[in-house]
Every structure is written in C-alpha cells, then in structure tokens.
Structure 1
Amino acid sequence: MNVFNRLLAIVFWLLVLAICIGVVGIASGLLTAHTVDRVHSYAPLHQALADFHTRRPQWAQVAKVAIGAAIGVIASLLLLLELTPARRERSFQLLEDQNGEVTIGYDTVRKVAEQAALDVAMVDSARCAVARRKESLQVRCRATIDRFANAEVVGGQIEEAIQRQVEQTVGRPVERVVVRVEPQKAGAPVRVR
C-alpha cells in the first residue's frame, strides 16, 4: 500500500473513531446537545442530536452505546494496524564480507521455483514454499498437471527443474524438493503457452 493510501486510511479510521466517541458520549448523556451548540450552532444538528439522545426506550440507549463502543474498538484496532510498520520480508543471507552482505528474499526464491515448475511441459499451475535448513534450502511444490500426463515423469521433471534453477539462482544446495502433483480437473481452463 502506498503512502497516499495509508494516509487516507489513517484519516478515515480517525474520523470513524471520532464519530464513535461522539455517539457514545451523546447516547450515554456525557455530551449534551447544548455543549455541542457552544462549539457549532446549527439548528438541524441540534435537533438531530436531541433526537439521538432520547432516553426512551432504555434498551435503545444501551444498544447505541454498545454499538458505538464496538465500532470504536474496531476502528482503533484498524488504526493501530495501519500505524504499525509493514512486516519486513524474510531473507536468506547468501554472502557477508567486509564490504557488506548479499541477501535474497524467500518470496523471490519461491517465485523462481514456481517459474521453474511452470517451464516444465504439461504443467498448468504451481505453488511452492521455501524453507531453510542450516545452509541449504527445502522446497515444497504443489503442481497441477495435464490430466493425460504421466504424473511420475512430470513430477520428476519438476523436481529436477526446481532443484537446478534454485541452486543456480541462490548458489547454495537444495537439500530436498518435495513435489505433489495433481491432475487437472476435467473442464478446467487449459494454460496456453
């Protein structure tokens, strides 16, 4: 999310939070219409606030306070979530020396593995996950293959392609590649190369 969108979200949640505080204050009687009139005198607003503060029926006032408080809590949680910094991508350190360090993100390695699987003939889709094991990597991949393809042969080709491409990209050994193949369902759209 870019900076402009984050600022809009922050302003929006602050506005929702302010409205909820006002709703709880007016419905509970802590903030009266006359107090609001001192700040901003506007007859339709005064009438709306007076109508909103009505004490009958009693359950309606409790419901207004409860709903306003619940929405306020949700707005404050979402505001807090928006104000926290974005999570940093996990990365794998490839090299570190006196000049600096070289890292690659796990998400990038995952994309490399998925592309290597998709480059194998008869593969329609692939989803991979990468994990680190000491100084090597483990790759798990779930691939959808053509329903008329030999699953054993295509699975072996996927395994070799992923291992070769990830080792070439990262420069580290891939300890294990686990491939799970699923034939494509009948009637599913076919991937055109």
Structure 2
Amino acid sequence: MGGSTNALPIVSKIFCSSSLTSLMVRKRPHVVHGGGFVVTDCSQNVAFVVDGCGTLGAKGELMLKDGDGEPILFIRRKGGIVQALSTRNKWNGYSMEYEGANKLIFSLTDPKSCLAMKKAIRIRVDPKGHNRDLEFEVNGSFVDKACTIRDCRGNVVAQVEVNELIGSKDFYYVVVQPGYDQAFVVGVIAILDNIHGESTRC
C-alpha cells in the first residue's frame, strides 16, 4: 500500500497511502467461513479480510486480517452490567501484537436506543506519540451504503458508496482519502456491519 509522508497511522503507517484509494467490499455468505467480508483493491487483490462470529465462535467479536491472512485487529463489543445499563454500545479495537499482548487502538460508541439513534457514531483514538485523543465521527446511513467517516475537524476520511451498475447489496465501495489508515477504516466498517446485522453477525 505504501506509506504516505502526510500519513495519519492509527493501526500502522503501512496501511496509509499517498493517493485516494477505492476498496471494494464483498460480503461472504454465512455458510462460507462463517460469514464476514473480503476487501479488494482496484487490481482485485485481497487487501483485508474480516471474520465474524461464525468463524470466531463468539458474538460481538470480529477479526481483521491483512491480505496474507495475518491478524491486524481484534474487535470486541464491551459487555458487563455498566454497559447493559448504558444508552450506547461500546466497541474496542485492539492491535494484534506478536508477543500476544493486545494494545487498545480505538473505541467506538453507537446508540442502542431509539431516542439516541439520530446521534452520530463516535470513534476515539489515542495513537502513539499524541498527547490528545483523536476523534472521528460516522454520519449518514450505513444500511443504504451512504455514510461518511470524518475527523474532528470535519475533514472526510472515508466514504461508503454503492455502485448502481453492480446492482447487488453484497458489493459496495469504501473510498479512503490520501494519508488515512485503511486498516482503521475497514475496522470501523466491520463494526458498522455487525451493528446493522449484516455479514459478520450470526
């Protein structure tokens, strides 16, 4: 993918590109590898794979892998009594370290009540070397494949778009702006997919 000089690495700078990147998401049937989805680049090479609970064996858990099948992020929905009483669900994304010690990379909160549904989905990141948290926001409709991830300044990070020519809900595009971390973006898309009961949900 190539690193960018103006990169904003969240998972890793190797997932940041200096050019606009269009990724295609293809949902896997639930009967094949337990669901999830595959992400390819413009050359049809596999860039990322997301496994859902059909593969991992637990609800509220997702795994993001690179094109070679190496785990990058482990994503889990937070549980417990405090979470059960909250008006929002919280998801945590952890890096997969070689020594087995997972490090928290980002947290995403989404509204789980009808009253809070119109509120934006928020993502908080505390990357290495930054003194303050970075925040992102998801706006629009993921179900309609028409939503945008923006940074705290309102800049577009990535957009989810449907291709009318394909005519299938099993394919859609994620367009990532230059310098932004594609693995982070796909991790967010994986959570949105699960929240809305799509390919990663059992």
Normalising TM by the smaller chain, what interval? under 0.3
Structure label with greater radius of gyration: 1
Q: Whose relative contact order is higher, 1 or 2, with alpha carbons under 8 Å and at least 6 apart?
A: 2
Structure with greater strand percent: 2
TM-score, with structure 1 as normaliser: 0.23
TM-score (norm 2): 0.22
